[in-house]
Structure formats: C-alpha cells, structure tokens
Amino acid sequence: MAGRYKSPLTHADVTPKAAWLNRRQIIAGAMAAGGASIASPALASLGARKTSYGSGLEPNTFEEITSYNNFYEFGVGKDDPAQNAGAMQTSPWSVVIDGMVDRPGTYSMDQILEGQTLEERIYRFRCVEAWSMVIPWVGFELADLLDRVGVQSGARYVAFETAVIPEVMPGVRRRVLDFPYVEGLRLDEAMHPLTIMATGIYDEPIPNQNGAPMRLVVPWKYGFKSIKSIVRITLTDSEPPTSWNKANAREYGFYSNVNPTVDHPRWSQATERRIGGGLFAARQETLMFNGYENEVAGLYEGMDLSVNY
C-alpha cells in the first residue's frame, strides 16, 4: 500500500525540475558545441504521487545520478553504463515471477504496473565503495507486487535476477562477474515499506544505466543489493545465492546492511563521500543502516551484524 512510510522532508527540498532541466540543456549545449552529443531523453513525466520522503536531504542532480554508475554488465568504468546502456531495449519487457507464489507467470511491465500507485521516495544511496548520493526515486512498494502474486506460506526469501543480453553488454562478454547478476532479500526485508521497485528518477522513466525498466531499491543496504533491470523474481524457502557473495564471500555478505562499524576488508566503511562536492568534497560519517535505523533495526534484532555482514 502506498503512503505507509512517512518522513519530514517535503517536496520543496527537491531541486526544482525546471532548475535541473535547465542545467541539463546548458550541459547538452556545451557538449554539442564541443563535438560530442548526448541523447536527450524524452521528458515524459511519470506523474508520481508527491510525497514527503527523506530527512532534510538535498538530492543529487539528474546528471550525477545518471552519469556515475556501477552496472558491470556494461563495463567496470563509472561512465561505461551511461555510454553503453543506451543499446538495451527495455520495451517490451517482461518479468518472470515464480517459485512459491500463488500466481506464477510471465508478467509484462504493463501488467506489473497496472493499478500500482507510483510514489516519489527521496532516499540516501550508499555504495559499498564508500561514495553516496541522494536520489529521488519513483516507484512502488515491492510488498504491493508480492501481495498481488500471492506469497505462499513456506516462502522465506526473494531472489532477483538481472537481464543478460551479451550483444549489448560488453561486461557480460568479458565475464567480470558470474552473470546473470543475482541478488536476494529475506522475505521480511522484501516486504518492508522502505523496499521499493523503482521505475523512475526525478519523475522521469528510469534511464537504462540506472536499471531500466525496473530495479530494486533497498535504501539501508549497500547499493549492489539494489539489483537493476530485473527479469526474474523467485520466492524460495532457502537463502538464494548473490553475485558479489559468490565472487568474494569474505568481502560481501548476504545482508550487506550499511554499517559504519563493520569495515570492508579493503577499506573503511566509517565515512563516505557524497557525490557532487567536486574536487574538495569533505567526507561525512556513514550512518547506521544508512540513516534508516529506526525503521529497520528491528529486522535484525539478536543478530551479530559483524558475523552477518
């Protein structure tokens, strides 16, 4: 159900659309003058429900959110996804929903979105690499989708899978990871009102490099848990494998909750750098559960978070 999650931020805290559109035009103009060109996306508004989410956060610009991405299917460089992902066809798109559900099947995006109320949610986004952004997502609660397909009583986990399209994904051809990219959540994490399926950013359809046409967003976990361009959702009774855990179990656990007190073996997680501060950006302290401690700490009561990292 939309509107369950409340927060003090108002829509007035978002960079006005006119302001960032304007900036984009200036940049596009400058790039065109410089001989380069960028695709100008169709400015179709999704008409997401204006809500008050976030907590005094200033969202990153559309450029920042869409030009600095980790999407290894399209290359390991931060600008590779923005350069390469445009070749991915996201319409038509369908998602297989199977496993322990009452109504398994192949659902088109239209069927998935039918009757869903799209909401704007301004969330912190913390990458495991110790950088962060604030993103005004547009989406709906995953719980609403799961309720519709009917989760069976024995199901305890949700597994997700990203599309694999080698023709347009150079990273897949280079086997940077064991593709398809897979992720998973415990069912209670998946049903949490903060967990959304995002289909837009800044009230526009989500760009391919950010995980079009639909991606997961779990704001209290490191970004790699928020799997992109989903083609399969499977309800299971056992913990599903997850890509980074398969690649390096010592460094990436199943839970991967944002936690400043549990370091990544190769770097500290105590601080982060918010993208957009330029060359002299100061680091800031990372918040427990990425600032969503009040909402989600209860999910992990009694668990040793340094073991279940």
Q: What is the C-alpha separation between 94 and 229, in angstroms, rounded?
A: 10
Binding mask of the shown chain, residues 239 to 268, with x at each position contacting other proteins by CB under 8 A: --------x------------------xxx
- Asked if 79 is part of the footprint of other proteins (rule: CB under 8 A), the reply reads yes
73: annotated binding-site residue? yes
72: annotated binding-site residue? yes
Candidate residues 12, 18, 33, 282; the one interacting with other proteins per rule CB under 8 A: 282
- Residue number with CB closer to other proteins (282 or 307): 282
Q: What is the C-alpha separation between 79 and 84, in angstroms, rounded?
A: 9
- Asked if 275 is part of the footprint of other proteins (rule: CB under 8 A), the reply reads yes
Judge contact between 2 and 117, C-beta under 8 A: yes
Residue 73 in tokens:
């299917």
Residue with tokens 């680091």: 283
**Within 31-50, which residues bind other proteins (CB under 8 A)?**
none
Query: Which residues have C-beta within 8 Å of that of residue 278, sequence separation ≥ 6?
Result: none
Contacts of the segment 63-66: beta carbons below 8 A, 24+ positions apart: 63/20, 63/23, 63/24, 63/27, 64/133, 64/275, 64/276, 65/133, 65/135, 65/201, 65/202, 65/210, 66/201, 66/207, 66/209, 66/210
- Residue number with CB closer to other proteins (249 or 303): 249
- Residue number with CB closer to other proteins (186 or 283): 283
Candidate residues 78, 109, 253, 295; the one interacting with other proteins per rule CB under 8 A: 78
Contact set with other proteins (CB under 8 A):
63-64, 67-68, 72, 76, 78-79, 129, 131, 174-177, 247, 266-268, 270-271, 273, 275-276, 278-283
Binding site members for Mo-molybdopterin: 69, 72-73, 127, 162, 210, 215, 226-228
